[in-house]
Chains A and B, each alone.
Chain A
Amino acid sequence: MTATVPSERRMANDIAANLGHLPGERAAEEIAGHIGRFWDPRMRTRLYEFVDAGADGLDPLVVAAVKLLR
Chain B
Amino acid sequence: MTLLKEPDFGTPERPGPATVSVEVDGLPVTVPEGTSVLRAAAQAGVDIPKLCATDSLEAFGSCRLCVVEIDGRRGTPASCTTPCADGMKVSTQTPKVEKLRQGVMELYISDHPLDCLTCPANGDCELQDMAGVVGLRQVRYGYEGANHLEAEKDTSNPYFDFDPAKCIACSRCVRACGEVQGTFALTIEGRGFDSKVSAGAGETFMDSECVSCGACVQACPTSTLQERSVVELGMPTRSVVTTCAYCGVGCSFKAELRGDELVRMVPYKDGGANEGHSCVKGRFAFGYATHPDRQLRPMVREKITDPWREVEWDEAIGTVARRMRELQDRYGTSSVGAITSSRCTNEEVYVVQKMVRAAFGNNNVDTCARVCHSPTGYGLKQTFGESAGTQDFRSVAEADVIVVIGANPTDGHPVFASRMKRRLREGAKLIVIDPRRIDLVRSPHIEAEHHLQLRPSTNVAVVNAMAHVVVSEGLFDRDFVNARCEDFDEWAEFVARPENSPEAVEPITGVPAAELRAAARLYATAPNGAIYYGLGVTEHSQGSTMVMGMANLAMACGNIGRDGVGVNPLRGQNNVQGSCDMGSFPHELPGYRHVSDDAVRTVFENLWGGTLLAEPGLRIPNMFDAAIDGTFRGLFVHGEDIAQSDPNLKHVTAALEAMELVVVQDLFLNETAKFAHVFLPGASFLEKDGTFTNAERRINRVRAVTKPKTGKHEWQIVSEIATAMGYPMAYDHPSRIMEEIASVTPTFTGVSFELLDKLGSVQWPCNEEAPEGTPIMHVDEFVRGRGRFVVTSYVPTNERSTRRFPLVLTTGRILSQYNVGAQTRRTGNVAWHPEDILELHPHDAEDRGIKNGDMVTLASRVGQTTLRAEISDRMPTGVVYTTFHHPVTGANVVTTENSDWATNCPEYKVTAVQVGLARPTRAADSKPAADDLVMVVD
**Residues of A at under 8 Å CB distance from B?**
1-3, 7, 10-11, 14-15, 17-18, 20-22, 34, 37-43
Contact = CB atoms under 8 A, between A and B. Distances in A.
A10 B799 CA distance: 12
Contacts of B541: 14
A40 B862 contact: no
B902 A7 contact: no
Contact of A21 (B363, B791, B899, B902): B791
Contacts of A18: 542, 545, 793, 795, 901-902
Interface size range of chain B in the complex: 35 or more
Given A2-B628, A11-B899, A37-B596, A42 B795 contact: no
A2 B651 contact: yes
Given A11-B904, A18-B545, A18-B793, A42 B334 contact: yes
A10 B587 CA distance: 20
B29 interface: no
A47 to B, nearest CB: 12
Nearest to A34: B902
Most chain A CB within 10 A, of B364, B617, B625, is at B625
Contacts of A14: 541, 798, 899, 901
B148 interface: no
A40 B793 contact: no
Contact of A2 (B616, B654, B795): B654
Contacts of A21: 494, 791, 793
B897 A39 contact: no
Given A7-B897, A37-B587, 9 more contacts: A1-B650, A2-B654, A7-B622, A10-B798, A11-B901, A15-B902, A38-B903, A39-B616, A40-B616
B863 A40 contact: no
Contact of A40 (B586, B654, B897): B586
A15 B618 contact: no
Interface string B31-60: 000000000000000000000000000000
B258 interface: no
A16 to B, nearest CB: 9
A17 B902 CA distance: 11
Contacts of B902: 15, 18, 34, 38
B862 A42 contact: no
B848 interface: no
Contact of A1 (B625, B862, B899): B862
Nearest to A23: B490
Contacts of A2: 628, 648, 650-651, 654
Contacts of A41: 334, 615
Contacts of A3: 625, 648, 651, 897
Interface string B781-816: 000000000010101001000000000000000000
B793 A10 contact: no
Nearest to B791: A21
26 contacts: A1-B648, A1-B650, A1-B651, A1-B861, A2-B654, A7-B621, A10-B897, A14-B541, A14-B899, A15-B901, A17-B901, A18-B542, A18-B545, A18-B793, A18-B901, A21-B494, A21-B793, A22-B791, A37-B594, A38-B616, A39-B622, A40-B363, A40-B615, A40-B618, A40-B622, A43-B618
A42 B594 contact: no
B600 interface: no
Interface string B465-508: 00000000000000000000000000000100000000000000
A7 to B, nearest CB: 5
A10 B899 CA distance: 10
A14 B798 CA distance: 9
B119 interface: no
Contacts of B654: 2
A17 B542 CA distance: 10
Interface string B840-865: 00000000000000000000011100
Contacts of B861: 1
B395 to A, nearest CB: 31
Contacts of A20: 793
B621 to A, nearest CB: 7
Given A14-B541, A37-B587, A43 B862 contact: no
The 9 closest A-B pairs by CB, nearest first: A14-B901, A3-B897, A21-B793, A18-B901, A7-B625, A40-B618, A17-B795, A2-B651, A1-B862
A11 B616 CA distance: 16
B626 interface: yes
B122 interface: no
A5 B594 CA distance: 29
A21 B541 CA distance: 17
B107 to A, nearest CB: 71
Contacts of B650: 1-2
B128 interface: no
Interface in B800-838: none
A40 B624 CA distance: 13
B914 to A, nearest CB: 16
Given A7-B621, A18-B795, A34-B902, A40 B334 contact: yes
Nearest to A40: B618
B539 to A, nearest CB: 15
Most chain B CB within 10 A, of A3, A10, A15, is at A3
Given A7-B625, A18-B542, A37 B651 contact: no
Contacts of B791: 21-22
A3 B596 CA distance: 31
B631 interface: yes
B654 to A, nearest CB: 6
A4 B654 CA distance: 14
Nearest to A15: B901
A13 B334 CA distance: 25
A42 B631 contact: yes
A14 B899 CA distance: 9
B233 to A, nearest CB: 50
Contacts of B494: 21
